[in-house]
Amino acid sequence: MKRSLRTKRLVLMVMFSALVFLSVLINVAVAAAAVYILTAAEVIQTVGVTRDEIQRLMLIFVLISIPVGVMIALVVSKIPLKPVRNLIEGMDQLARGNFKTRLPVDGFSTWNPATIDIADTFNKMAQQLQDTEMLREDFINNFSHEFKTPIVSIAGFARLLRREDLPREQQREYLAIIEEESLRLSYMATNVLYMTKIENQTILTDVASFNLSEQIRSCILLLESKWEKKNLELSISLREHDIQANEEMLKQVWINLLDNAIKFSPPGETVEIALLDKGNVYQVSVHNAGDPIPARQQEKIFNKFYQADESHATEGNGIGLAIVKRVVELHHGKVWVESQKHGTVFTVELPKAQ
């Protein structure tokens, strides 16, 4: 691979040098031809120098220009080709999977704004590839863990159920666990399929007018068993507002945000839900009193399969917030997070009409 890279550099330098030399040679030839024609036409007259002597001098000049032009081309070509050589080497490193490769923005490259733009663009591309690779590795680690855990649990309890001496009470307990883990698997598979569907969707369809406040209230009731189990208080500020949107998609947004707030709220705390009219847009905020999200993680939590809780102590697969972001984008809205020591607030801003 290294030999191939050296060969590419050598070929590039030879080609560029040849172009420089050819340009010099053409200029010399044109100048010599012009002098010869002018001398032959006696437009240029020299005292004490014959026409044959002028022709010999011109031939010597051309012959000397050839090696001199080659040397100048070889030396000069190294300067503008340095950024190109760096680019070729960087692309070769990326092709081999080294996504930490970056192009330096120094030396001769700073003399040319175009090379600075090339280096910046390359470095941004390399950073995106590195982030994608990290996301892929996180997906393999996290998502395989999330799927493996319930599968192992189901297999283990199913094995225990085969015991003939197992008490009836334990059988019911194990069956309940198997049912719960099966539903968990089904939920994850559904989320993955739904995420795939909306990722490939570019146009918002099935837009209708409906009561946004009523939709949020129904989502709160759907999750009643979860927030009652943690003894959470709900502070709800919802005036009646209508919106034009895809009703089923927005339902997924509120369920994911509310489920996330319930999941990370300590028992006995308060989850706050508010809907505000901001002129042409509505703002829906969901606040929980859980631990703050570090600033470096706030930029990543909307990425698919990313989990801020790296210990996997809480349920989740890193798809819910990615679904929220994609659905909001399809509605030409915005979603962001603010997290401090007093809790975390997710805010969704949606236009009233599509």
Can you tell me the distance from the alpha carbon of 161 to that of 164, in angstroms, rounded to the nearest whole number? 8
Residue 229 falls inside a structural domain: yes
Please compute, for residue 223, the number of CA atoms within 13 A of its CA located in the half-sphere on the CB side.
Answer: 24
Q: Which amino acid is at 142?
A: N
- Reported confidence tier of residue 313, pLDDT bands at 50, 70, 90: very low
Q: Tokens representing 200?
A: 């490939």
Look at residue 256 and tell me whether its pLDDT is greater than 80. yes
Shared-domain flag, residues 148 and 277: no
Shared-domain flag, residues 177 and 238: no
* Nearest to 192, CA basis, from 139, 116, 135, 266: 139
φ/ψ (deg, to 5) at 204: -75, 125
Shared-domain flag, residues 230 and 180: no
Does 47 or 152 have the greater pLDDT score? 152
Residue 126 falls inside a structural domain: no
Shared-domain flag, residues 194 and 218: no
Residue 22 falls inside a structural domain: yes
Q: Read off the pLDDT of residues 159-212 as tens digits, 9 standing for 90 and up.
A: 888 888 888 898 899 999 999 888 888 877 787 778 878 877 778 888 999 999
Q: How many CB atoms lie within 10 A of CB 101?
A: 19
Shared-domain flag, residues 187 and 226: no
- Reported confidence tier of residue 278, pLDDT bands at 50, 70, 90: very high
Can you tell me the distance from the alpha carbon of 321 to that of 300, in angstroms, rounded to the nearest whole number? 10
Shared-domain flag, residues 269 and 309: yes
Shared-domain flag, residues 161 and 293: no
Does 27 or 245 have the greater pLDDT score? 245
Identify the weakest region by mean pLDDT among 75-84, 220-229, 255-264: 75-84
Question: Average pLDDT of 258-265?
Answer: 91
Which pLDDT score is estimated for 218?
94
Can you tell me the distance from the alpha carbon of 62 to that of 244, in angstroms, rounded to the nearest whole number? 79
Shared-domain flag, residues 223 and 187: no
Residue 111 falls inside a structural domain: no
Can you tell me the distance from the alpha carbon of 73 to that of 266, in angstroms, rounded to the nearest whole number? 72
Residue 144 falls inside a structural domain: yes
Can you tell me the distance from the alpha carbon of 131 to that of 137, in angstroms, rounded to the nearest whole number? 10
CA torsion 208-214-218-219 (nearest 10°) is: 70
List the beta strands (DSSP E) in 135-248.
207-211, 233-237, 242-246
Look at residue 215 and tell me whether its pLDDT is greater than 70. yes
Domain end point (choices 147, 166, 199): 199
Q: What's the predicted TM-score (pTM) here?
A: 0.56
* Nearest to 243, CA basis, from 283, 203, 273: 283
β-strand partners of 284:
275, 348
Residue 321 falls inside a structural domain: yes
β-strand partners of 123:
none
Which pLDDT score is estimated for 66?
66
Which pLDDT score is estimated for 153?
87
**Domain of 181: which CATH number?**
1.10.287.130
Residue 106 falls inside a structural domain: no
Q: Read off the pLDDT of residues 38-91 as tens digits, 9 standing for 90 and up.
A: 666 665 555 555 666 666 766 676 676 667 666 666 666 555 666 667 777 777
Shared-domain flag, residues 306 and 263: yes
Per-residue CA distances from 13 to 26, 64, 76 (Å): 20, 22, 10
Helices 2-40, 51-95: crossing angle, 10 deg rounding: 160
Question: Average pLDDT of 135-163?
Answer: 78
Expressed as residue numbers, the domain containing 6 is 2-98
Residue 124 falls inside a structural domain: no
Look at residue 244 and tell me whether its pLDDT is greater than 90. yes
Residues with Cβ within 8 Å of residue 32, at least 6 apart in sequence: 58, 61, 62
Share of the chain above pLDDT 90, in %: 29
Share of the chain above pLDDT 70, in %: 66
β-strand partners of 351:
281
**Domain of 330: which CATH number?**
3.30.565.10
Look at residue 6 and tell me whether its pLDDT is greater than 90. no
Which pLDDT score is estimated for 327?
94
How many structural domains comprise the chain? 3
CA torsion 123-129-134-135 (nearest 10°) is: 130
Q: Tokens representing 307?
A: 């989990």
Domain end point (choices 161, 183, 199): 199
The answer to whether the beta carbons of residues 129 and 99 sit under 8 Å apart is: yes
Shared-domain flag, residues 222 and 195: no
Q: Is the dihedral of CA 83, 88, 89, 95 positive or negative?
A: positive
- Mean of the per-residue pLDDT values of the chain: 78
Look at residue 154 and tell me whether its pLDDT is greater than 70. yes
Q: Tokens representing 176?
A: 């309940």
Shared-domain flag, residues 181 and 214: no
Shared-domain flag, residues 171 and 221: no
Q: Tokens representing 241?
A: 């507002």
Does 276 or 42 have the greater pLDDT score? 276
Question: DSSP assignment, residue 292?
Answer: P
Identify the weakest region by mean pLDDT among 85-94, 232-241, 244-253, 282-291: 85-94
Domain end point (choices 144, 176, 199): 199
